[in-house]
Amino acid sequence: MSRKYFGTDGVRGRVGEFPITPEFAMKLGYAAGKVLVAQDGLPQGERPAVLIGKDTRVSGYLLEAALEAGFSAAGVDVCLVGPLPTPGVAYLTRALRLQAGVVISASHNPYDDNGIKFFSASGSKLPDGVEQAIEAGIDGPMGCVESARLGRARRISDARGRYIEFCKSTFPNELNLRGLKLVVDCAHGAAYHVAPDVFHELGAEVRTIGAEPNGLNINAGVGATAPAALRQAVQDQGADLGIALDGDGDRLMMVGPDGALYDGDQLLHAIVAARVAQGQTVPGVVGTLMSNLALEHAMERLGIPFERAAVGDRYVVERLLERGWQLGGENSGHLLCLDKHSTGDGIIAALQVLAAIRQQGQGAAELLGALQLYPQVLINVPIVKGFAWQGHPAIEAARSSVEQALAGRGRVLLRASGTEPLLRVMVEGGDGVLVRQQAEFLAAAVAGALQG
């Protein structure tokens, strides 16, 4: 079942997910509200309460109102916080002891996408049983409780300040950011009025870009998925470091003073290496199928177990919880520090990197560039729906040939896209020329198998 109720322009639904319309958002709020009302644990006569936050997309106003109406009709109180990063909603849901949190956001997507995501009372994903109960109720009839039992709505006026203080609390008390000049790119998203203040209040000199949202410009040429603007700003302003977030503030990329871009694998390595150098025990680290092989080899050198989860930060969280570990992430910039927060948080991840720089007494380029990524070539091969590529003799023979050519110094990954009719062919290793040749060979073999 989908864990994000997601649509594009309220019309074009994505694979396995629901197209969002105001009617759907209201029904979703009502269905979720009915499930919450039916749960045990609240004192007699007390209504459950949820928190609704959003990013800066213009459609957020519409969906917020529809969700509020649906929850109220089901007898659920609503706390509104307006634009706030996704991890901020997760934090406040937990801090205010509410029954659930709701985020209206499409993360790093363009402004005309939007989505709705739920958090549990603990600030983590909803249990599967609760999700299934909500989804089962979406197509049911929508009613309304009697007037005396209607949910009420109120605005949490100090949500931004609460979240800023929470973020700052994850930075070591004995450290500060004085003397650092930072450029912070907020992607014209939910962190625009949060992230700059966090770093400034810890002592940094802060310059911002992507901090003037108008409802239509979120992620447009700025943010973690479009780092060219930040690279230019860092060099133009002579900054020590650049910090790029995405539209809902849960993804992080960094830029060094020379314009070098550091991805999630390199940032995760910096956090882990600094903790080891400080004498802390790191029982294990979780990456994904797309994590660079260089990260896995670096963990081996540090004597730290490394495991790969499926692509998606929620799969990383699940594996970390299964193992009882704390650190993990994706090369796309979703970083998990479960000793600091229950979910991925771009601001908190940046603070952990900055703490590592301070503790190690190194420059950003020296620490973040310590992990030299292996060349990685990804080729998307169009396939037809239902094509049985797994176990296909010609594809398996080609894969075996590539693995022999890499001779243990590289890695091959074949992965079907979750949203498009594509097979993603990825080859990585230390020899960039060999990697390119073998990726093209394998992609051609896949295309040939399809035609045959």
Active site residues: 107
CB 293, CB 374: distance < 8 Å:
yes
Written as six digits, the tokens of 144 are: 């309304």
Alpha-helical (H) ranges within 55-156 are: 59-73, 86-95, 128-138
Tell me how far CA of residue 131 lies from CA of 41, 59, 275, in angstroms. 18, 24, 36
CA within 13 Å, CB half, 275:
20
**CA distance linking residue 29 with residue 73, whole number of Å:** 9
- From 117, 109, 106, select the one nearest 3 (Cα to Cα): 117
What sign for the dihedral angle of Cα 390, 392, 394, 396? positive
Type and span of the H or E element at 34: helix 22-38
What sign for the dihedral angle of Cα 33, 38, 39, 43? positive
Tell me how far CA of residue 346 lies from CA of 107, 134, 197, 207, in angstroms. 12, 29, 14, 17
Alpha-helical (H) ranges within 84-127 are: 86-95
Output DSSP code: residue 148: G
Residue 336: strand pairing partners: 328
What sign for the dihedral angle of Cα 171, 177, 182, 184? positive
CB 199, CB 243: distance < 8 Å:
yes
**CA distance linking residue 199 with residue 181, whole number of Å:** 10
Output DSSP code: residue 147: G
Q: Are strands 327-329 and 335-337 parallel, antiparallel or unpaired?
A: antiparallel
Type and span of the H or E element at 404: helix 393-406
**DSSP labels, 75-108:** T-EEEEEEE--HHHHHHHHHHTT-SEEEEE--TT
CB 316, CB 251: distance < 8 Å:
no
Output DSSP code: residue 408: T
